[in-house]
Structure 1
Amino acid sequence: MTTRRTPPSASERTAQVDVRGWVGGIRLSGFMVIMLSLVVLGAWVLVPTLGTYLDQKQKISALEHSVQVTQQKIDDLKAERARWNDPAYITAQARERLFYVKPGEVVYLIDNDIAAAAQPKDQAPVSDKPQERSSDWAAQLLRSVTGAGLAQTATGAAH
């Protein structure tokens, strides 16, 4: 019994593509081989150059940013120099920092301006004689650190 093969329908023909026929249809001439090798050679030469270009572009951008930061610092220093050329600014700084006064002025320095409630509590007086204690130094260190961290600090009242 012989089986008869029917010709493929249009949908079956589009589903099956004969790759061998397609690859076999490509003909490489000497000119195409030379052109393809030139394209590969060009890519091989240009890729490192492009990488160098991008690296230099990044360095230039970083240097421009550095110049901007330096220029800002220069502008700030020029402004400060201009302030120090003003006699009123110099007088104000001398009064504030060095407590200078003009002749005839009376200066009042408030030595203890913290409220009594905000001051730390008094401790026992410190003795002049060293004392020896037998204790675990690690536990004593831990107590000292936690005691310093939890101590009440003296702060001025906000006005």
Structure 2
Amino acid sequence: MTRRTLALVALVVVALAALVPTVNTYVAQRQQLSELRTQVAQQEAEVEDLRAQVARWEDPSYVAARARERLLFAMPGETQYRLTDTSGRDVPLTEAQQAAEEAKEGEWFSVLWESVEGSSRLTPEDIPDEVGSTDEDVPEQDPADDTDDEDTDQ
């Protein structure tokens, strides 16, 4: 190898050492910029949805419809009827009321745990007797005692 070739190889290695981190930084920044543009586009769409909701709430008929649905308001002169099921409980009229009723009942595991806790507080009086073990079914004397009485009579 000549000195020229060695100098050229050294120059290429130094140039690569200087350019590789710069190119990596450039590519990483381009990816980050692309992600941020996507995020901005999503946020702009969300802002447009929120503006549409605000515009709906500025409409008096929309506000009246929501008040009727959520708060069960009625216009003057109207009669409201409340439906009940066979148990006498109110039938939920809206999805929001149904969701509130389900949330009030609690999660399945909390209901299960309350049942376990409740069963641990039972007293012997709370537990029903087994079939055939009532006081009427049990004789007052033990059958073994009857044979002893017959033996003593003879």
- Whether 1:49 aligns to 2:49 is no
Deviations 1:24-51 (A, max 9, x none): xxxx222211111111111111111111
Alignment identity in percent? 39
Number of positions where the alignment pairs a residue of Structure 1 with one of Structure 2: 95
Matches within 5 A, 1:1-159: 28-110=1-83, 113-115=84-86, 144-145=115-116
DSSP 3-state at the match of 1:109? coil
- State the alpha-carbon separation in 1 of the partners of residues 33 and 72 from structure 2: 49
> Distance between the aligned counterparts of 1:73 and 1:92, measured in 2?
24
Change (3 A) 1:57 1:146: farther
Bigger-Rg structure (1/2): 1
Q: What is the CA-CA distance between 1:146 and the residue it aligns to?
A: 10
Unaligned runs of 5+ in 1: 1-27, 117-140, 148-159
Cα separation, 1, equivalents of 2:77 and 2:113: 55
Letter in 2 for 1:144: S
Residue 68 and residue 35 in structure 1: after superposition, are their counterparts in 2 closer, same or farther (change >3 A)? same
Larger helix percent: 2
Classify the secondary structure of the residue corresponding to 1:114: coil
CA distance in structure 1 between the aligned counterparts of 2:73 and 2:48, rounded to whole angstroms: 30
After TM superposition, give the deviation of residue 114 of structure 1 in Å: 3.3
The offset of 1:143, in angstroms, is 8.4
Q: How much is the aligned-residue C-alpha RMSD, in angstroms?
A: 2.5
**Unpaired stretches in structure 2, ≥5 consecutive residues:** 88-111, 119-154
